[in-house]
């Protein structure tokens, strides 16, 4: 536990991540758009879509073809356009226009899996949960915090060792750390937490 807190402190001194908050519907749709899509493309599509329609009511006034044309930068844009319409309809009719704040209800929405649900719970509702993406999974395994490849088991392992007050930082911290240093081929020679790392295939040469 002591090393966990030391690692989080070292990384946060480097990246200076602060918990952030986004409107639930915008974040939910943005996270659906981001699936299998690079951040830059997701951002472009998100801005185009929400410049035209920023609520479930307004989304439903658009045709599926109109949504497709607004989000065509993202992967699987036709499938995502259909899901966005479906999600908007359910939120409007079942939840009176408000995104649900429970993991179970979120995961019952079309196109919403565990990671998407946890992103919304943490960054919109400020619940102390960790969204497990590729960066979180890879870095957690290299640090020895989990041995699993299963995202739900990784989440469980992380929740067991990471205090609630730090959980809102983990995803953002590990995304930044993963993009810069702890890549598929890690830059271990630049790593500020190298002494804590259990990864056997360290890359110590620039």
What is the pTM (predicted TM-score) of this model? 0.92
pLDDT tens per residue, range 100-135: 999 999 999 999 999 999 999 999 999 999 999 999
Catalytic residue among 14, 26, 89, 133: 133
Query: 3-state secondary structure string, 136-166?
Result: HHHHHHHHCCCCCCCHHHHHHHHHHHCCHHH
pLDDT value at position 20? 84
Residues 19-31, mean pLDDT to the nearest whole number: 94
Give the model's confidence band at 61: pLDDT under 50 very low, under 70 low, under 90 confident, else very high.
very high
- Structure token pair of residue 174: 């590990």
pLDDT tens per residue, range 138-194: 999 999 999 999 999 999 999 999 999 999 999 999 999 999 999 999 999 999 999
133 catalytic per annotation: yes
Q: Can you give the residue ranges of every domain in the chain?
A: 2-17+130-196, 24-113
Report which of 44, 41, 27 is spatially closest to residue 87, judged by C-alpha positions.
27
| C-alpha radius of gyration, the chain, whole number | 18
Q: Which residue intervals of 35-107 are DSSP H helices?
A: 39-52, 56-60, 64-70, 77-94, 103-107
CATH topology of domain 2-17+130-196: Endonuclease Iii, domain 2 (1.10.1670)
Residues 65-73, mean pLDDT to the nearest whole number: 97
Catalytic residue among 80, 115, 118, 157: 115
> At 87, phi and psi to the nearest 5?
-60, -45
Q: What is the three-class DSSP state of 16?
A: coil
> What is the distance between the alpha carbons of residues 120 and 87, in angstroms, rounded to a whole number?
14
CATH topology of domain 24-113: Endonuclease III; domain 1 (1.10.340)
pLDDT value at position 18? 85
9 catalytic per annotation: no
Tally: H helices and E strands in the chain? 11, 0
């Amino acid at each position: 536990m002591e090393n966990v807190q030391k690692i989080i402190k070292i990384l946060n001194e480097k990246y200076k991540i602060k918990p952030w908050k986004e409107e639930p519907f915008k974040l939910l749709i943005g996270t659906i758009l981001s699936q299998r899509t690079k951040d830059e493309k997701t951002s472009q599509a998100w801005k185009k879509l929400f410049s035209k329609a920023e609520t479930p009511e307004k989304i439903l006034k658009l045709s599926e073809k109109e949504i497709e044309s607004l989000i065509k930068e993202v992967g699987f844009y036709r499938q995502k356009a259909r899901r966005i319409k479906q999600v908007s309809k359910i939120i409007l009719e079942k939840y009176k226009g408000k995104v649900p704040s429970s993991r179970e209800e979120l995961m019952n929405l079309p196109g919403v899996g565990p990671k998407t649900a946890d992103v919304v719970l943490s960054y919109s509702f400020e619940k102390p949960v960790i969204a497990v993406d590729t960066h979180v999974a890879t870095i957690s395994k290299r640090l020895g915090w989990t041995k699993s490849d299963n995202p739900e088991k990784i989440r469980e392992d992380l929740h067991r060792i990471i205090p609630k007050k730090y959980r809102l930082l983990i995803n953002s911290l590990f995304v930044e750390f993963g993009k810069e240093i702890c890549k598929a081929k890690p830059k271990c020679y630049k790593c500020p937490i190298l002494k804590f790392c259990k990864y056997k295939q360290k890359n110590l040469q620039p």
